[in-house]
Amino acid sequence: MKIQSDNLKETIQKARPNLKDNSVKQYETHLNKLKKLFDSDNYDFLSTPEDVADKLKEKHYTSQRNSYNAIIILLMALNHDEKYNELIEKYQKIRDQLNNKYDEDQASGKLVSENQQKNIVEYEEIEKMIQTMENEIKNQGLKKKTELTGKERELLMVYTLFSFLIRIPTRNDMSGQLLISKSQYNKLTEEDKKNKNYLVKNKSSMFGVYNEYKTSKKYGEKKIDIPKDLEKILNLYIRKTNKKYGDPLFVSSTGNALSRNAISQLLIKTTKKYLNKSISTTLIRKIVASHHFGEGTEFAKLKEKQEELANKMGHSVAVMDKVYIKDAKGDE
């Protein structure tokens, strides 16, 4: 079976026209790595999924999953006949098994890479680090200073970033986030609202608006109320760094909005300093999720009870929740 693509980028975009350029590049990378693995100048090797699985079995399952996604995208774009459909189904079955493992690990709070396992810390250690930074801010008298040095601004910024992430564990969606007033936000066109992320500030409250994030195409605009304790921290940061409406919230020493990668590097730099660990946004999200929903928490205990009852009923938790609990509420 001949499987050939002269222009990977065009082929992938044909199958998934809404994919972002960065995602297309990642698929290209995975497919090119597979060609090297098979020492091939074409993709004929994809006609035997068993051989592909054998070559990939030593890799971490998240890496395998990414490779299979790329294979499926390519085959969908090149789909010429029933043989392609059969191949796609085989690869989807393997990929779905890996997805299930990933979902199980995520739900149980398990980590999914060796690197993350090396750098994991307890949630309380993150809290202690934030408290240490807060003490430094207090001891250096930053709240009373009218002008901050570059190092002082960075200290206040990382303190604010970590305070934000343990309360609202987004990805690096603060990248390019603009500070804006409620009245300015209300005047924005739908097009302007669609393409940017905002921190909307009112006299007595704040909320975040997120349109530009990894799963935005699936979930659409997100609005998140800022809790009062975080609002206090953000107000201090805004005041001491002289932020004006329309300014990006987090910036580099040159005044440019921090990129997603720059935020990750800043978080890693900070956790290396205070914890001797390399912790970026993804790992913080896992630490926070595990703290609130992992084994031994009230949520986990409730989930166990749900699973026990669903098992007695002969249904999954999802079916019990969707059908029986919903119907019971409707009968009230």
Tell me the HSE value of 149 on the side-chain side, using a 13 A CA sphere.
5
Q: Which domain holds residue 308?
A: 298-331
Residue 183 lies in a domain: yes
Q: Mind listing the pLDDT tens digit for each residue in 188-223? A: 988 888 778 999 999 889 999 988 887 777 788 889
Which tops the pLDDT comparison, 233 or 114? 233
Work out the percent of the chain whose per-residue pLDDT is above 90: 46
Residue 148: CATH number of its domain: 1.10.443.10
Domain count, the chain: 3
Task: Quick: pLDDT tens for 72-92.
Answer: 988 988 876 778 888 999 999
pLDDT band, very low/low/confident/very high, at 310 (cuts 50, 70, 90): low
**Which residues are paired to 257 by β-bridges?**
251
168 close to 224: Cβ distance less than 8 angstroms: yes
Residue 15 lies in a domain: yes
Residues 132 and 255 in one domain: yes
Same domain, 187 and 147: yes
What per-residue confidence (pLDDT) applies to 204?
87
Q: How high is the pLDDT of residue 287?
A: 86
Residues 211 and 92 in one domain: no
Is 179 part of any domain? yes
Residues 86 and 191 both lie in one domain: no
User: pLDDT over 70 for what percent of the chain?
Assistant: 83
- Residue 115 counted as domain residue: no
Q: Cα(238)–Cα(232) distance, rounded to whole angstroms?
A: 10
Domain assignment of residue 1, yes or no: no
pLDDT band (50, 70, 90) for residue 298: low
Cα–Cα distances (Å) from 58 to 26, 53, 329, in that order, read: 20, 9, 49
Task: State the pLDDT confidence band at 111, using cuts at 50, 70 and 90.
Answer: low
Same domain, 85 and 163: no
134 and 277 together in one domain: yes
Burial category of 27 from C-beta neighbours within 10 Å (exposed 0-12, middle 13-18, buried 19 and up): buried
Q: Do residue 135 and residue 185 come from a single domain?
A: yes
Which residue, chain included where needed, has tokens 């659409």? 220
Q: Is residue 36 part of a domain?
A: yes
75, 108, 141 — which closes off a domain? 108
Are 40 and 72 in the same domain? yes
Domain shared by 19 and 102, yes or no? yes
Task: Taking residues 219-246, report their average pLDDT.
Answer: 93
Q: Determine, yes or no, domain membership for 31.
A: yes
Report if residue 2 sits inside a domain: no
Query: Do 128 and 245 reside in the same domain of the chain?
Result: yes
Is 231 found in the same domain as 126? yes
Q: Which residues of 213-241 are buried (b: 16+ CB within 10 A; e: fewer)?
A: beeeeeeeeeeeebeeebbebbebbbebb
Write out pLDDT tens, residues 48-71: 999 999 999 988 888 899 999 999
194 in the same domain as 85: no
